[in-house]
Chains A and B, each alone.
Chain A
């Protein structure tokens, strides 16, 4: 009886994700035992804070990955969008609601452009988004005249947006942002597996030709995958602004690696055709756990890069081996 229950749970969650959950628990235990400072509540809050923007990027980028493509522009993109949003508020005096809308809007716009070039002109996704990444990197700087961005801080007009991620009750800080993340993960997971949009996107990744022959407007749904990625990059921009005080123009190249890495560790194949939002969530948790925990056991930040890179290769190797069976 217990065996059958276990099997249904395994089937529902997926073996890979169970393995990930197991690894997460083991790692967490390891860090907690190895370092006394790690064991505090504040460590979890910190980890959550730094995880929000990566998680949002990752949820979004899972969609292009499932179509067999990729979106490299999300890293420099989120910096650009948040700087423009900051500019709207500080220089033009617009209220934060409008600025947020513009930030997300820019993300959608760039996502749309990416989608059109990839889906309609049929350029390879990674060179396309590589170019968009370069363009967006310079764009933010040019639009705002090279000024850094700062979103409203505690006490200023509009600082309520920070409460979306971290809520302070009587001195203890609660990572309410996680609630938003979990809700989004649930929604996007439903979208991916149970709506037309999601099913078509998966189909584009696994068998585009068949989909085209069946008369579906493949181009439209293909573009949608990149629009979703851009939309989430816009959300990530707001999360980034909420976590960090100062946003420097021209940076951001490399942030997308954590997001893409997280999605791949979570089980989304680079070849497309399959993927899981929950897997992405777990993958990003793993990367964030490493990033937060490694400094506590005395490893310098550069070891962290090596370990992240090695784990990524390991994860993909295992994934490939599994698929070949």
Chain B
């Protein structure tokens, strides 16, 4: 058995994707199977196997996925970004307000959303990279600021994006068109771009280096500050993109929210194999992680449990994933 496993691990395609990622994909199927068996037993004889079920889980996975992709860059540099949830809502609120109250054209508002995210990312990135503030406290402070700005801009009211006529709601087609998961295609496309940036460009390589050995990079004399700031700009920008997919699925945003989504995006990241200590990140892992998080919520609700169980489970699973990651790193060293 061990021989077969070793042979499997050495296969070319397994090496490119990564053995851990394959395990994660298998976990998705296993979870799906588990929910399919358990749901009828636990909840009134209802079904889990269902196209609608998959679509609804995916709706949740998109914006978590984009948030996760963004925060992957930051975690790769050894930092953390707690502001992504609040920034996402702030972007959605501001761009939504522009749409509904200022009557700006839809495509412009989408740009506004991304721009707001990028702006927050720049501010955070500046303080962390150039002023050497700890990323943890900076992003937490930024989260407060984002919550406040979003609320002030819309005068504490919620914003509802249009969802009726095709003329005004074509942005929803990005999420789902003719019942096809277009959002998934876009997520994969963006993930591919992110992967190229992270693994194949100078910027990405420096980001990873910053995470694994900050001292060495500093001593080498290279000015890495702009690459570190870029990681945060990417995180903010992708939060702005996530905002579009959130409103595409749920249409209404309220000020003052966003905390849970932080945790879930970071959970997706960590489950996917990105190391919390920095230096090693997996874009594909983050996408798979987002799907696992979304599927888990869907399954828990389907089985008739309350959302509290999802919090507990997510916490336990992430703890497990991080422990496993750290243990394996220690063994390798």
Residue positions of A touching B, CB distance < 8 A:
70, 117, 121-124, 126-128, 130-135, 137-139, 141-142, 146, 249-250, 253-254, 257, 260-261, 264, 270-271, 300-310, 312-313, 316-317, 320
6 closest residue pairs by CB, A with B: A309-B144, A138-B311, A134-B315, A306-B148, A302-B151, A305-B148
Binds A, one of B42-50, B128-136, B209-217: B128-136
In the assembled complex, which residues on chain B have CB atoms less than 8 Å from the CB atom of A313?
Answer: 127, 133, 137-138, 141-142
Write the nearest CB–CB distance from A283 to chain B, whole angstroms: 13
Interface membership of B143, Cβ < 8 A: yes
Alpha-carbon distance between A250 and B311 when the two chains are bound, in angstroms: 9
In the assembled complex, which residues on chain B have CB atoms less than 8 Å from the CB atom of A127?
Answer: 266, 270, 276, 318, 322
Contact partner, A306, options B144, B256, B309, Cβ 8 Å: B144
**A127-B322, A141-B308, A317-B133 known; A300-B152 Cβ under 8 A:** yes
Write the nearest CB–CB distance from B157 to chain A, whole angstroms: 12
Alpha-carbon distance between A308 and B149 when the two chains are bound, in angstroms: 12
Other contacts beyond A250-B307, A254-B259, A316-B137: 19, CB < 8 A: A117-B323, A128-B322, A130-B266, A131-B318, A133-B315, A138-B307, A139-B312, A146-B306, A250-B311, A253-B260, A257-B144, A261-B141, A300-B151, A302-B156, A305-B151, A306-B149, A309-B145, A313-B142, A316-B134
Interface membership of B96, Cβ < 8 A: no
**A141-B306, A254-B259, A306-B145 known; A135-B152 Cβ under 8 A:** no
Write the nearest CB–CB distance from A316 to chain B, whole angstroms: 5
Alpha-carbon distance between A312 and B132 when the two chains are bound, in angstroms: 15
**A313-B138, A316-B134 known; A302-B152 Cβ under 8 A:** yes
A135's closest neighbor in chain B, by CB?
B315
**A124-B276, A131-B319 known; A310-B309 Cβ under 8 A:** no
In the assembled complex, which residues on chain B have CB atoms less than 8 Å from the CB atom of A309?
Answer: 140-145, 148
Write the nearest CB–CB distance from B304 to chain A, whole angstroms: 13
**A-B contact number at CB 8 A:** 145
In the assembled complex, which residues on chain A have CB atoms less than 8 Å from the CB atom of B259?
Answer: 253-254
In the assembled complex, which residues on chain B have CB atoms less than 8 Å from the CB atom of A123?
Answer: 276, 319, 322-323, 326
Mostly helix, strand, loop or mixed at chain B's interface?
helix
In the assembled complex, which residues on chain B have CB atoms less than 8 Å from the CB atom of A135?
Answer: 311-312, 315-316, 319
Interface membership of B87, Cβ < 8 A: no
Most chain A CB inside 10 Å of its own CB: which residue of B138, B255, B308: B308
Interface membership of B280, Cβ < 8 A: no
B150's closest neighbor in chain A, by CB?
A302
**A317-B131, A317-B133 known; A249-B308 Cβ under 8 A:** yes
Alpha-carbon distance between A131 and B323 when the two chains are bound, in angstroms: 12
In the complex, are the beta carbons of A310 and B141 less than 8 A apart? yes
In the assembled complex, which residues on chain A have CB atoms less than 8 Å from the CB atom of B312?
Answer: 134-135, 137-139, 142
B123's closest neighbor in chain A, by CB?
A313
In the assembled complex, which residues on chain A have CB atoms less than 8 Å from the CB atom of B276?
Answer: 123-124, 127
Alpha-carbon distance between A138 and B151 when the two chains are bound, in angstroms: 27
Interface membership of B147, Cβ < 8 A: yes
Most chain A CB inside 10 Å of its own CB: which residue of B140, B147, B318: B140
A75's closest neighbor in chain B, by CB?
B259
In the complex, are the beta carbons of B315 and A126 less than 8 A apart? no
**A134-B315, A139-B312 known; A302-B255 Cβ under 8 A:** yes
Write the nearest CB–CB distance from B118 to chain A, whole angstroms: 19
Interface membership of B39, Cβ < 8 A: no
Alpha-carbon distance between A83 and B238 when the two chains are bound, in angstroms: 37
B305's closest neighbor in chain A, by CB?
A142
In the complex, are the beta carbons of B144 and A134 less than 8 A apart? no
In the assembled complex, which residues on chain B have CB atoms less than 8 Å from the CB atom of A254?
Answer: 259
B266's closest neighbor in chain A, by CB?
A130
In the complex, are the beta carbons of A131 and B316 less than 8 A apart? yes
Write the nearest CB–CB distance from B186 to chain A, whole angstroms: 28
Alpha-carbon distance between A146 and B142 when the two chains are bound, in angstroms: 32
**A121-B323, A316-B134 known; A305-B144 Cβ under 8 A:** yes
Interface membership of B80, Cβ < 8 A: yes
In the assembled complex, which residues on chain B have CB atoms less than 8 Å from the CB atom of A134?
Answer: 263, 311-312, 314-315, 318
Interface membership of B36, Cβ < 8 A: no
Alpha-carbon distance between A320 and B132 when the two chains are bound, in angstroms: 8
In the complex, are the beta carbons of B308 and A312 less than 8 A apart? no
In the complex, are the beta carbons of A312 and B137 less than 8 A apart? yes
In the complex, are the beta carbons of B133 and A146 less than 8 A apart? no
Alpha-carbon distance between A169 and B275 when the two chains are bound, in angstroms: 57
In the assembled complex, which residues on chain B have CB atoms less than 8 Å from the CB atom of A138?
Answer: 307-312, 315
